Amino acid sequence: MICEARGNPSPTYRWMFNGTELDVGSDFRYTQIEGSLVIAEPSEGRDLGQYQCKATNLFGSVLSRDALLQFAYLGNFSSRARGRVRARGTGRRSHVLLPAHSPEITYGWVFNEFPSFVVEDSRRFVSQETGNLYISKVQPSDVGSYICLVKNPVTNARVLSPPTPLTLKTDGVMGEYEPKIEVHFPPTVMAAKGVTVRLECFALGNPVPTITWRKLNGNIPKRPGCPGKSQAVLEIPNVQLEDSGRSTSARPRTPGATGPASGPAAGLHCRSTVSVGVLGGQLQVYTFPQWISVINDTQLDSEEQLQWECKATGKPRPTYRWLRDGAPLSPEARMEFVNGLMSIRRVGIADSGMYQCIAENKYGAIYSNAELKVLASAPAFPPSPVRVIATVGKEVSLECRPSASPKPTVTWKRGDRRILPSKRILLLNNTLRILNSSRGDEGNYVCQAINMFGFAEMTTTLWVKEPMSVELSPARVEVTVGESVVLSCKARHDPSLDVRFQWLLNQQPLSFNQEAAILSTSKHSPPRPT
């Protein structure tokens, strides 16, 4: 049995057998190769059951879907010879005691010698439900020896029953009699969507009954295979939900009656030209669960709320279960489960792990996996000092963005005094905004962050400088081609700041070459071309 999961680091694997962890080292028959489990010399008595794989790494564990280990076999018929069967033109049923087998087997009947098989028609029928051979009206050509052949479709093994002789009585003539339904389908037939449904209905009678089929309040689907190779078999391939239907039985008609059978509602019925017998039942189509929405990996801060929802379709409607690291979850003070919705209030580190939502009905289960990562850390700031330069009269923003989980409480201080919002000072998303800044706002500002795991602070130095202005601008100058010209530019600025000059020609940065030169001067910096 193969089990493979993705993960980093690579997961390790364990196996469960019927809900209990399997100790691979306790039995020489077990060998585990990565995630695959090998069982040497398996036996039904020891190894039949449900298997499940569990994959684990440091982030958590997930379970695989269940795998049912079954054994295919076919025993032998009893070797005791069967007695002779005598018929007087009436219908006959030849039945056998079936050998032990698993899974379901197929049936055929050999007439006189192999490989001459009984050919099914309106008079003869081999039921694949019971294995019996039915002959609605025995004729002289039916006299002979009959052998039942069964086949296991998994192993292809075949076995033959002892022969059953059939003879014809000659001491009278059998008169006509109404149909007697010998092969019945169950009152309720359950089928998975998409499979082929096979219903059997066969009757004995004289004359040979004619088999017809009908669906209550609807039509039998017009698909290849409806009905099957024999009128006694109705096959509905790729059955759909709309194929579900109900039929009812009606009492036999008196000889010579015509028209459809009646009763509470018309349904599946077997009819002859002489009289009518009706067999009723209900077909119910179910579907395995299928996902509409699944859960996805989620990262939350401590104390936040988790809400996951998974939805699935299916008939019957699926129910939901939740696992964390392979263990079932149940409601508690912080956890709620409503259908496919799971919520956890105030998550913590202990809630981190691998979660699985299981949607299941009586016919199957599907799994959706996701990781929950809960972050929990004290506040922290980058180690580099923060310096901000502002201009007198302008707005300036001082940011405070600590990394922390859960989100910390942030306060701003200047010196020993806590900064409170005012008309000129705003606090928004932990950012301190100062409107119409002045030289009096210069200094050190401290952002303090605290949560349940710790405390940290960051200092921002604010400098407020006078705005720069141009004292001398280039004037209009007329020159002769080939002459040199000097264009002057002088700025007034804060003496603590360096100033760089840039010249534009027709609104484009000036490119300096051998035919043009510019002299940039500043009291605090040497001339430099830009």
Shared-domain flag, residues 434 and 456: yes
Q: How far is Cα 98 from Cα 78, in angstroms, rounded to an integer?
A: 9
Residue 1 resides in a domain: no
Shared-domain flag, residues 242 and 315: no
Whole-number average pLDDT of the chain? 84
Residue 278 resides in a domain: yes
Which amino acid type is present at position 398? L
Give 278-331 as a 3 state SS string.
Answer: ECCCEEEEEEEEEEEECCCCEEEECCCCEEEECEEEEECCCEEEEEECCEECCC
In tens, the pLDDT along 255-283 reads 443 333 333 333 344 343 344 556 678 88
pLDDT of residue 181: 86
Residue 176 — φ and ψ, nearest 5°?
-70, 145
Instruction: Give the pLDDT band of residue 89 (cuts 50, 70, 90).
Output: low
Q: Which of 53-57, 200-204, 354-358, 371-375 is predicted least confidently? A: 200-204
Shared-domain flag, residues 78 and 152: yes
Residue 4 resides in a domain: no
pLDDT of residue 271: 43
Instruction: Give the pLDDT band of residue 139 (cuts 50, 70, 90).
Output: confident
At residue 462, does pLDDT exceed 90? yes
Q: Which of 46-60, 132-146, 348-362, 419-433 is predicted least confidently? A: 132-146
Shared-domain flag, residues 55 and 102: no
Closest to 390 measured CA to CA, from 313, 443, 342, 428: 443
Q: Which two tokens stand for residue 14?
A: 């364990």
Residue with tokens 């280039």: 474
Give me the domain span that covers residue 530.
472-530
Shared-domain flag, residues 77 and 138: yes
Which amino acid type is present at position 16? M
Q: What is the torsion angle, in degrees rounded to the nearest 10, for the CA atoms of residue 206, residue 207, residue 210 and residue 211? A: 10
High-pLDDT (> 70) share of the chain, %: 85
Residue 2 resides in a domain: no
Can you give the CATH number for the domain in which 206 is found?
2.60.40.10
> What CA–CA distances, in Å, run from 242 to 134, 246, 288?
33, 12, 16
Shared-domain flag, residues 272 and 313: no
Shared-domain flag, residues 36 and 89: no
Residue 186 resides in a domain: yes
Residue 5 resides in a domain: no
pLDDT of residue 366: 96
Residue 274 resides in a domain: yes
In contact, 326 and 62? CB cutoff 8 Å: yes
Q: Which of 10-24, 88-102, 300-314, 447-461 is predicted least confidently? A: 88-102
Shared-domain flag, residues 282 and 209: yes
Residue 7 resides in a domain: no
In contact, 397 and 389? CB cutoff 8 Å: no
Shared-domain flag, residues 410 and 338: no
Q: Reduced to 3 states, what is the DSSP secondary structure of residue 440?
A: helix
Residue 107's DSSP bridge partners are: 150
Which amino acid type is present at position 394? K
Q: What is the mean pLDDT of residues 474-497?
A: 86
Q: How far is Cα 126 from Cα 183, in angstroms, rounded to an integer?
A: 10
Q: Which of 220-224, 263-267, 452-456, 494-498 is predicted least confidently? A: 263-267
At residue 178, does pLDDT exceed 90? no
Asked whether the whole model's pTM tops 0.75, one would answer: no
At residue 248, does pLDDT exceed 50? no
Q: How far is Cα 132 from Cα 76, in angstroms, rounded to an integer?
A: 17
Q: How far is Cα 256 from Cα 266, in angstroms, rounded to an integer?
A: 20
Q: Which of 30-44, 58-72, 210-224 is predicted least confidently? A: 210-224
Number of domains in the chain: 6
Q: Which of 88-102, 114-128, 256-270, 419-433 is predicted least confidently? A: 256-270
Residue where a domain stops, chosen among 115, 135, 168: 168
Q: What is the mean pLDDT of residues 213-218?
A: 79
Residue 419's DSSP bridge partners are: none
Residue where a domain stops, chosen among 412, 446, 465: 465
Q: How far is Cα 243 from Cα 221, in angstroms, rounded to an integer?
A: 7
Shared-domain flag, residues 348 and 420: no
Residue with tokens 């090998």: 38
Q: How far is Cα 163 from Cα 82, in angstroms, rounded to an integer?
A: 7
Instruction: Give the pLDDT band of residue 206 (cuts 50, 70, 90).
Output: confident
Shared-domain flag, residues 282 and 182: yes
pLDDT of residue 223: 65
Shared-domain flag, residues 181 and 268: yes
**Side-chain-side CA neighbours of residue 458 (13 Å):** 23
Residue where a domain stops, chosen among 339, 374, 409: 374
In contact, 97 and 162? CB cutoff 8 Å: no
List, in order, residues 6 or more apart from 104 with CB less than 8 Å away: 153
